[in-house]
Structure 1
Amino acid sequence: MFRGLSKAATLLVALAFLNACSPKLDWRTVQSPQERYTALFPGKPDKLDRRIPYLDQEFLQVLEAVKIDDDIYSVSTIQLPANQSASLSKLLYQLQANLIDRAKASGGDVTIEDTFYKTTDKQRLPTKDYFIDLKSNNKSQQLMRIRWINRVAPNGDHWIYQISVLHTNAAKENAKTFFSKEEYENFFSDFSPE
């Protein structure tokens, strides 16, 4: 009987050890040739698309996202045809302003930091990261890190990428400190558009 209990206890300890060693994040490279990028996701993302209205037209937005615990990692892509490139700056402004204005209206904070991204051919190009504290009743409710990248394809089409992580559980740190952790940095540093 003692031997049976000893085996059961050993098995439970081994299972607990294996469970503790199994990573919460299952990093995988996701290639999206239709949307012209490669990204490192912490799990298998779901993909969906929708039409978004803008002025008197609609654009296709493709979203790949995965939820891990309290975090949603996502890459959103909009293709702007070359003949509509005059709308680019207004569309980018609208995407950014909607989110930033919402954060500020809730009493939240927005910190903007210069950074770089790398393309699939290893070029390092400048961009900005936005660290957002979304608040409700003066308490931090959600934290977000977001980056917008615009790339021009050989045919003149513009590709707008929105790379973001949304943390949905109240955190004691500000967004910039919170998202400096390796699991978030990997997601941003390993996104590469063509």
Structure 2
Amino acid sequence: MIACSPRLDWRTVRSPQERYTALFPGKPDKLERRIPYLDQEFLQTREAVKMDDDIYSISTIQLLVSQSASLNTLLSQLQANLIDRAKASGGESVVEDGFDKTAERQRLPIKDYFLALKKDGKSQQLMRVRWIHRVAPNGDSWIYQISILHTHAGSGNAKTFFTKEEYENFFSDFSPRIKL
């Protein structure tokens, strides 16, 4: 029934350049930017849609074979930046083991991060984020950051909040299109 909600216009989005298929609750906007990292620069592509108080987004970074030595450090830094931001605000982060499906329907272990960001001691924003890494047959690496930011949290538990079907669908229907 949630898929029939007039507020949410679920649609499959295929992003051939970024090599994924995802289910978005509306038509996403696409933004590209270059991000400097150490003595390199990476192209980050983000597709996102805002629905009421929620921002659904998928960011993609491609690392060429020649840049692959930076992969683990870059991925760790992306994760640490968000977790440190939550902790610095007085909020919290909870990590939960989960599974991601590949284009071949394999289930690979991943981690989901549930973050509460606070301001003046009160929850202001809740976020769920997942990072997925895939290596293409040509050796290029792809980092996907799938996230939902709820911008009007009041008080609440991020893990409980994001287990609702309308949020779970976004994560479970994301599929990288890179053959392992």
Structure 1 length as normaliser, TM-score? 0.88
CA RMSD of aligned residues (A): 1.0
Stretches of structure 2 lacking an aligned partner (at least 5 in a row): none
Q: Which residue of 1 aligns with 2:88?
A: 105
Deviation (angstroms), 1:22: 5.4
The amino acid across from 2:90 in the alignment is G
Equivalent residue of 2:67, what SS? helix
Gaps of 5+ in 1: 1-20
Distance 1:131 1:117 in 2: 16
Counterparts of 1:70 and 1:32, CA distance in 2: 25
**Match for residue 50 of structure 1?**
33
Partner in structure 2 of residue 85 of structure 1: 68
Corresponding position of 1:59: 42
Q: Deviations over 1:106-159 (max 9, x none)?
A: 100100000011112211111000000000111000000000000000100000
User: Aligned runs of 1:95-134 on 2, under 5 Å?
Assistant: 95-134=78-117
The structure with the largest alpha-carbon Rg is 1
For the 8 Å contact 1:38–1:120, the answer to whether it is kept is no
Q: Is the 8 A contact 1:144 1:175 kept in 2?
A: yes
Specify the alignment match of 2:157 in structure 1: 174
Runs of 4+ in 1 over 6 A off after TM superposition: none
Number of residue pairs matched by the alignment: 174
- Give the counterpart of 1:147 among 123, 130, 142: 130
Instruction: Using structure 2 for the length normalisation, give the TM-score.
Output: 0.94
Between structures 1 and 2, the one with greater helix share: 1
Quote the offset at 1:170 in angstroms. 2.2
